[in-house]
Structure 1
């Protein structure tokens, strides 16, 4: 990509255009008119700022100088579970893209991801990954279908400016759910803004309900370790989470007036200064600044409050993968790109410094808190490598970075994840839109419906 104009849209509506410009299918040798292997790679969601593409163009040039036989074509891309199969069938996906941990098992079992076992072994990475994380991309035979590139923990994000307007100390954010509720009301009463908000549609409501269930010591699904799973949605922790949301909405009037937010729209509302607090992954700062125009001076992050004997922080992440429809030449180019763009900076000092320097010089975030996909020791060492280029306000994230290592990470439910999240969306929406919603009945029905999904 020599300019943002060369970025191709990955949406279904432009599948024909993308296919015509850079299609590489199982029946194509992947070579463009230049004789180089054309490789379509995921870049950013639609709406990313000019600086993001400037940084990517610099990285593309660096890669192509080292690999002159590969022509990189950037493709705008944002993961959307409900439309993935249509995009794959229509050929509108990039050759290299990312998917969440939660969906990788289903996708690989459906034959929708490329097997990269041999490539990972040849690169020498197989034994370097955290085995729990690598398991997310393995099938029953131990074959590997992607490269884990990034992990995150659940976090509570907050607006420091709204905290100050409400008389709250932004350097001492809430550490219990009761304190979150009290702060939300104080923010709303002082500013008229939503003191706290939460995702509720497009499977994100179920995701965040699950996250807060885990934070209260509950689980929404149990793996029976024999290929079957049990739905445990109807539990005290999930009920407590819904009662918390009901109180914010109907008793305190601190939730605001938008009950149809998802990952993108809640980030947009937060970046616009309309939300005091919300929960999401700890890696969200980069997108908030790059894609939604957040003023970094107002940003704060802390750990999600934990309550209960088995409380933990829901973890997640994403995996660099390839389409199963590409040919061997394109696959080889894809592995080379994944190694260079995603993996080397996790393991190699020179690669990490080059990546951080390039991003910094283009005004992109460097140093956003993540969880290591390899080891904590290597992750912390890598921060010393790139320290001169770190430009995120890590002092405003200290409540998170100081406490996250004391929280127990818990993986997302493994089976029918998105189907169950979609069911839980409806439960969250019911509580937020119906003051008289019967939480016990909603949970009982959701558990029954989820079990049916698990038994399919």
Structure 2
């Protein structure tokens, strides 16, 4: 990064502990951070013991070849964890030189904190899944080997990757991690309720004005809209207007040192949201997307916002009750921009032997293969990160079954590349989300006007960024 003092070794433990508190102190609303809940996934099989042997048919001992062990920490629980474990099993069965062990470490926040706690003892993983908003910290920590190093060493073809996905994890032309699970927010609506209210069920509202008008019509029939108070949605509303969320090119041309959440994009968005709540066209169900999802599936609300990763569950949950419609994330009239990828990527830790890092890279390449991405997409609903995955027959069949997913694909490809859609980066992003969510609550609850709430949020976030930048010696 320009004007950034890079480190090739770990930051002092005391500094890392301070960064832990900066990043994780305000991450209480885990239900809205694209983390995977559910039961802990089973760990992978242990590696073969070094120097072990077996007896052959002739009674002579045959030495086993020692496998390179890769420990992968991830945050995919429940059904997602089972899908991740299957990918690990497929990789381990595909060759005999590397053994990957998948270890579920809880939410993204919990996993990242465990990694930091393990760094001094080197007892941590070879590879870790980190949510997108942890990217700035991972780079600043000096704890990782950029995947660009491996890409360059073997001339790996990155053109096979979705550009709008890989670009999030690329800084100054260098790709630092490999995207793994990726999602966007889309508008979900109840086609049956639209039809009953006299609205065209095949023409979804696309702009703030159209959403407000449709919501008013639907509310008059007893089914208003509802959007969870989720900081990720505000970030997406900014990008969809081509607006940057922090200064200095969204923190990409130089380290960000100021929040722009109180800019025109934020004010216009929150005023629109507030007007809908005040007019009863929309109701406020709080911060949890699970709550709006349940209300939507129960037919209590007509429109909501949720991740593309929720699409399969929502469509299956509505089966036999109503038809689900999907549409692009709404934006003001005339706005040009697009969505930012959510989800997480895979980072290689640099305190492991070179052979172990290379083995982790081999696993990463396996995960990016079209057939692997196709299986992952079908099992989870996350986007394939590899374009050729859409040519796989199982993906084509899945699109036939869930045609609503075409909306997600089209929205991703329609997003115009810019620093706005590439996504903001800052070392205190999780905490910034919490601050923004608090501001939205104040506005919707009527305790503060829009401009005052966003000005206070911008000031608070800017202060957090300043403290972080001092910690990592930004010049």
Post-superposition Cα deviations, 1:385-423, rounded to whole Å, max 9, x if no partner, equal 436753144533555655665542512222243332222
For structure 1, which segment, 61-70 or 442-451, has the greater mean C-alpha deviation from structure 2 after superposition?
61-70
Asked if the contact 1:206/1:425 (under 8 Å) is kept, the reply is yes
Structure 2 residue aligned with 1:5: none
Structure 1 residue aligned with 2:188: 157
Q: Does residue 339 in structure 1 map to residue 347 in structure 2?
A: no
Structure 1 residue aligned with 2:101: 73
Going from structure 1 to structure 2, the CA distance change for 1:182 and 1:143 (only over 3 Å counts) comes to: closer
Give the Å deviation of 1:187: 3.7
Asked if the contact 1:218/1:238 (under 8 Å) is kept, the reply is no
What are the equivalent positions in structure 2 for 1:238-257 lying under 5 Å apart?
238-252=266-280, 254-256=282-284
Going from structure 1 to structure 2, the CA distance change for 1:302 and 1:88 (only over 3 Å counts) comes to: same
What are the equivalent positions in structure 2 for 1:21-420 lying under 5 Å apart?
36-41=67-72, 45-48=76-79, 53=82, 59-76=87-104, 79-81=107-109, 83-91=110-118, 95-125=126-156, 128=159, 136-137=168-169, 144-149=175-180, 152-192=183-223, 195-200=224-229, 205-216=230-241, 218-223=243-248, 225-252=253-280, 254-256=282-284, 258-262=285-289, 266-267=292-293, 270=296, 275-286=301-312, 295=319, 298-307=323-332, 311-317=336-342, 318-341=344-367, 343-345=368-370, 351=371, 356=374, 364=379, 370=383, 379=387, 382-386=389-393, 389-392=396-399, 393-397=401-405, 405-409=413-417, 410-416=421-427, 417-420=429-432
Going from structure 1 to structure 2, the CA distance change for 1:133 and 1:388 (only over 3 Å counts) comes to: closer
Please give the alpha-carbon distance, in whole angstroms, between the structure 2 residues aligned to 1:208 and 1:428: 11
Please give the alpha-carbon distance, in whole angstroms, between the structure 1 residues aligned to 2:126 and 2:298: 34
Post-superposition Cα deviations, 1:263-283, rounded to whole Å, max 9, x if no partner, equal x55555555655432334444
Q: Which runs of 5+ in 1 are unaligned?
A: 1-9, 346-350
Larger radius of gyration: 2
Provide the aligned C-alpha RMSD in A.
4.2
Give the Å deviation of 1:174: 0.8
Aligned length: 403
Going from structure 1 to structure 2, the CA distance change for 1:324 and 1:274 (only over 3 Å counts) comes to: farther
Asked if the contact 2:75/2:107 (under 8 Å) is kept, the reply is no
Secondary structure (helix, strand or coil) at the match of 1:445 reads helix
Large movers: runs of 4+ above 6 Å:
21-24, 29-34
Structure 2 residue aligned with 1:445: 456
Give the Å deviation of 1:315: 1.2
Please give the alpha-carbon distance, in whole angstroms, between the structure 2 residues aligned to 1:328 and 1:212: 42
Asked if the contact 1:430/1:437 (under 8 Å) is kept, the reply is yes
Asked if the contact 1:271/1:295 (under 8 Å) is kept, the reply is no
Give the Å deviation of 1:454: 3.1
Asked if the contact 1:171/1:399 (under 8 Å) is kept, the reply is no
Give the Å deviation of 1:177: 1.3
Please give the alpha-carbon distance, in whole angstroms, between the structure 2 residues aligned to 1:185 and 1:242: 17
Going from structure 1 to structure 2, the CA distance change for 1:160 and 1:86 (only over 3 Å counts) comes to: same
Asked if the contact 1:210/1:238 (under 8 Å) is kept, the reply is no
Give the Å deviation of 1:426: 1.0
Post-superposition Cα deviations, 1:28-70, rounded to whole Å, max 9, x if no partner, equal x996989544434456633327xx73x5565444322321233
Give the Å deviation of 1:424: 0.8
Going from structure 1 to structure 2, the CA distance change for 1:41 and 1:306 (only over 3 Å counts) comes to: same
Please give the alpha-carbon distance, in whole angstroms, between the structure 2 residues aligned to 1:312 and 1:196: 24
Post-superposition Cα deviations, 1:222-251, rounded to whole Å, max 9, x if no partner, equal 216444444322223211221222223232
Post-superposition Cα deviations, 1:92-132, rounded to whole Å, max 9, x if no partner, equal 97643433333212222123434434322234226536778
Going from structure 1 to structure 2, the CA distance change for 1:267 and 1:188 (only over 3 Å counts) comes to: same
Secondary structure (helix, strand or coil) at the match of 2:457 reads helix
Secondary structure (helix, strand or coil) at the match of 2:459 reads helix
Structure 2 residue aligned with 1:7: none
Q: Does residue 428 in structure 1 map to residue 440 in structure 2?
A: yes
